[in-house]
Structure 1
Amino acid sequence: MKFFEQIAQSIVEKASAALDVSMSITDAKGTIIGCNNVDRLGSYHVVTEEVTKAGRSVIFTKENVAGRENVLPGVATPIRFQQQIIGVLGIIGEPDEVGKYVEFVRTHVEMLLQESFRTETFYLQMKTTELFIQHLIHFKEWDNEGTLQNYCEMSGFHFDRPRMCILIDIEALQTAKREKKAVRISQYDLFQIISNYLEDHAQDIISPINPGQWIVLKYIDHYDLSKARRQCEQALRALKKFLQNQNAPSYVSIAYGKSYEGFAGVSRSYQQALQTLSTGKQNKKSASGVYAFDDWTILLNALIQEIKPAFAETLADYVEKLLSHSNAPVLVESFLVYCEQGLNVSRAARKLFVHRNTLLYRLNQLNEILSIDTQSFEQSMLLYMALKQNKAMKQPMQVT
């Protein structure tokens, strides 16, 4: 068992330091894989077979080890994992003195083995799930329905009901990847937090998709979208607290798409969540947040980002004309607030803390500079999108 070999020496060092005794651990073949005396590592320990056959602790006194090679006085006891003896723990010293530690150390070793096995199993499952998720979210590009069907048959996942994609972006891990910094955050701990707040059904799938992002594919069965947002907000708070406790930057963003059936539907929901995450992070008012694809502000900003380059260049001509004006910052801010207040001059003036006539004067300036009618919803909307698109182009993308 590879993981047994990997942790044996560490167990010996920590346990012997705490109890002030010497000890050794062998594998099922009798090879010493953990020992205070490193010169004995890799050597054969003949008593392993004897203790394994006995199936219980065996005492070795000075008298009955005389003349036996590589055997020291003490107590040896079998180590069990999943009802099988996989090695032997030996505590070296006078049996009457060290015997009191045998049961405690053996139990500790077996608990560590169980924990190590669970962790190793978790990472193996995560690797398999992550590969499946990559195939799933790139369904249209990779044309891999057969591969997905095979995985579903093996895992018991079903896609005949709507699923919603939730993306979790952890900026500390993104930064560590870009700057090649060592940020030690356990995937197992992240999985536990995410599943605790976002997993409701055995069909829910949770997996990392890159070093800084996790995905949750929620199985929807009369699912309440308001509940989904509450769960995302709770998960956001829990993840931020966890990162703070790890002394890591606690910037977390969560975005989700709409729910659809089938493999293609999940891929579509993922693309929506990805777009929502990008848009939400670019227009965020705080370092963290929860963003929904069906939020009209998100939809508008997503539409602005999708403006084709040729048309964007045409809009840019008008924007540049406005930005070259000496009073441009004030005019742009006034116009954006005016639009966001539903073209209501009085509300916009209050929002800007200016007199109504001052705002009207600024709007008239815009009318003259761009030959636009700011009372027209259609024309104002077009300029609003042009200004927002120009602002978005100047901001770096934050989603990898």
Structure 2
Amino acid sequence: MELTEKLGQEIIRRLSKYIDVPINLMNPHGRIVASTDPTRLHQLHGGAKAVIESQQPNIITNGNADDFSNVKPGVNLPIFHHGELAGVVGLTGKPEDVMQAARMTQGSVEITLDQMRLQKEAFFQERQWNHWLQKLLQPAAVDTQELEGEAIYTLQVEIHKQWQVVVYQASSPYELAERLIPSLEYLNPLFILPYEDHSVVAALPAQQPLTIESEADVLTGVGEPGYSLDGLRQSYQQASEAIELAGVHGEVVYSSSLKTERLMNHIDAAVYEEIATEYILRLNELEDSYVETLHCFFDNNLKMNVTANDLHIHRNTLIYRLDQLSKKTGLDPRRFKDAIILKTILLKESL
């Protein structure tokens, strides 16, 4: 990386607030790319040429100024980046007066170049991870051998382990990812990456129990442990489905607690429509209190007393409602087979 005009001008703009002497920044060819004196831009600087040839500091005094073209007394120092000459910094004035400021400017520029390199590397690595994640989680079949090769040789990670995927859904996934990284670092995640337009996906080493916290405005689903690439894909699908089935903002939903719901969710659509349509129509004609009763009855594992207490009604009132449900829908929620149909409808229709 070498000193460019755009970068040089930004550095000059910032440093000139603290250093009250003329500053020039030259590229590796000795041409001034930034200066506190705009009239000197794009000129060749003889002192910088001497630095480039020797890769050593060049001190210019009144006594030797005539030995170099287009110079004034001052100090010219090399700027190195990764062992290569990236440019030259020059400060005008008595060498003994400006040397310290010149050293500070030299260090500031080198630090800036290092930070830019690290940012570019981080950006490039994030793009590699995002590209890999897109291929891993695509709905179609994946090229396992290709993904394994990229993981090992490009991303330099070991994927042949047990992983558990956490999916977060939020309106600002990039901001959420930045907040999540510090809080999940201790778990040694494989990755924490924004995915698509509204999600953050985190792959964590499988451990029992895995305790995850959520934020108030975030939907969070946790998949079950899985091995290597296939396990990552499956755990991601489970976590996403957990959010779809039971996601509540601010709460964490574990796929392992939704096995019945997941099974019902994958019933063949044509078969479901054939069986459920007439019952859906009847349920839609009921008052809200009946549907609420159904939900509570199933949530309490068909226990009459617990359901009545939760609804704050007398047991006889509950029995009356269940009798009416049976009469009006043709399905009795107290019978196992009928309860399965009703529970499936409640799940799939979000009644």
* TM-score bracket relative to the smaller structure: 0.7 to 0.9
Q: Secondary structure at the match of 1:342?
A: coil
Q: 1:273 aligns with which of 202, 226, 239?
A: 239
Report the secondary structure of 2:157's partner residue: coil
- Shift in Å at residue 16 of structure 1? 0.9
How far residue 195 of structure 1 moved from its aligned partner, in angstroms, is: 5.6
Q: Which sits farther off after the overlay, 40-49 or 342-351?
A: 40-49
Instruction: Verify: 1:290 aligned to 2:252, yes or no.
Output: yes
- The alpha-carbon distance between structure 1 residues 46 and 66, as it changes in their structure 2 partners (threshold 3 A), is closer
User: Could you tell me whether the CA contact under 8 Å between 1:165 and 1:269 is conserved in 2?
Assistant: yes
Which residue type is aligned with residue 289 of structure 1?
E
Instruction: Please list the CA deviations of residues 267-289 of structure 1 after superposition, one character each: whole Å capped at 9, or x if unmatched.
Output: 222222222233343xx1xx333
Structure 1 residues 211-250: aligned runs within 5 Å = 211-218=197-204, 220=205, 223-226=206-209, 228-229=210-211, 232-233=212-213, 236=214
Contact 1:316 1:390 in 2 (8 A): no
- Corresponding residue of 2:188: 199
CA shift in 2, pair 1:315/1:130, >3 Å: same
Who is 1:244 aligned against?
A: none
- Determine which structure has greater relative contact order: mean sequence separation of CA pairs < 8 Å that are 6+ residues apart, divided by chain length: 1
Q: Which residue of 2 aligns with 1:264?
A: 230
Q: Is the 8 A contact 1:78 1:85 kept in 2?
A: yes
Measured in 1, the distance between the counterparts of 2:347 and 2:15 equals 62
Q: Structure 1 residues 196 and 64, CA, compared in 2 at 3 Å: closer, same or farther? A: same
**Aligned position for 1:333:** 292
Shift of the alpha carbon at 1:340? 0.8
Report if the CA contact (8 A) 1:8-1:25 is conserved. Answer: yes
Cα deviation for residue 190 of structure 1 reads 5.5
1:317 aligned to 2:278? yes
- AA of the residue aligned to 1:375: R
TM-score by length of 1: 0.75
Secondary structure of the structure 1 residue equivalent to 2:172? helix
Query: Where do 1:356-375 residues align within 5 Å?
Result: 356-375=315-334
How much does 1:365 deviate? Answer: 1.5
| AA matched with 2:245 | T
Q: How does 1:1-400 map to 2 (within 5 A)?
A: 1=1, 7-38=7-38, 40-61=40-61, 64-65=64-65, 69-138=69-138, 141-155=140-154, 156-173=156-173, 185=175, 189=178, 192-193=181-182, 196-199=185-188, 204-218=190-204, 220=205, 223-226=206-209, 228-229=210-211, 232-233=212-213, 236=214, 251-281=217-247, 284=248, 287-296=249-258, 299-313=259-273, 314-325=275-286, 328-391=287-350
Q: Quote the Cα distance in structure 2 between the aligned partners of 1:345 and 1:388.
A: 21
User: Deviation at 1:353?
Assistant: 1.8
Choose 1 or 2 for highest CA Rg. 2
Shift of 1:389: 1.6
Unaligned runs of 5+ in 2: none
Aligned equivalents of 1:37 and 1:191: distance in 2? 46
In structure 2, C-alpha distance between the alignment counterparts of 1:81 and 1:65, rounded to whole Å: 28
Q: Is the 8 A contact 2:163 2:226 kept in 1?
A: yes
Secondary structure of the residue aligned to 1:30 is coil
Q: Is contact 1:172-1:251 (8 Å) kept?
A: no
Cα-to-partner distance string for 1:340-394 (whole Å, 9 max, x where unaligned):
11212221121112222222222222121112223213312321221232127xx
Q: CA RMSD in A?
A: 3.1
**CA–CA distance in 2 between the matches of 1:78 and 1:365?**
89
Cα contact 2:170–2:176 (8 A) shared by 1: no
Q: Using structure 2 for the length normalisation, give the TM-score.
A: 0.84
Task: Report which stretch shifted further, 351-360 or 329-338.
Answer: 351-360
Corresponding letter in the other structure for 1:199? N
C-alpha change, 1:13 and 1:379, in structure 2 (3 Å) is same
Residue identity in the other structure for 1:374: P
CA 1:160 to 1:350, structure 2 compared with 1: closer, same or farther past 3 Å? same
Q: Deviations over 1:185-234 (max 9, x none)?
A: 597x468536624416xxx344443354333333x4xx4221x32xx32x
Q: Which amino acid aligns with 1:99?
A: M
> Following the alignment from structure 2 to structure 1, what is the Cα–Cα distance between the partners of residues 183 and 243?
17
Aligned length: 349
1:126-146 deviation line (CA, Å, top 9, x unaligned): 2122222223334x8244234
Q: CA deviation at 1:122?
A: 0.8
Bigger helix share: 1
Cα distance, 1:159–1:185 mapped onto 2, change above 3 Å: closer
Q: What is the aligned-residue identity percentage?
A: 21
Query: 2:207 is matched by which residue type in structure 1?
Result: D
Q: 1:339 touches 1:381 (CA, 8 Å); kept in 2?
A: no
Change beyond 3 A, Cα 1:145–1:58: same
Distance (whole Å) between structure 2 residues aligned to residue 388 and residue 5 of structure 1: 62
Distance in 2 separating the partners of 1:333 and 1:118:
56
Once the 2 structures are TM-superposed, how far is the Cα of residue 120 of structure 1 from its aligned partner? 0.7
CA–CA separation in structure 2 for the residues paired with 1:254 and 1:57: 58
* In 2, Cα distance between equivalents of 1:8 and 1:169: 41
User: What is the aligned partner in structure 2 of residue 179 from structure 1?
Assistant: none
- CA 356–185 in structure 1, closer or farther in 2 if over 3 Å, else same: closer
**Match of 1:121, SS?**
helix
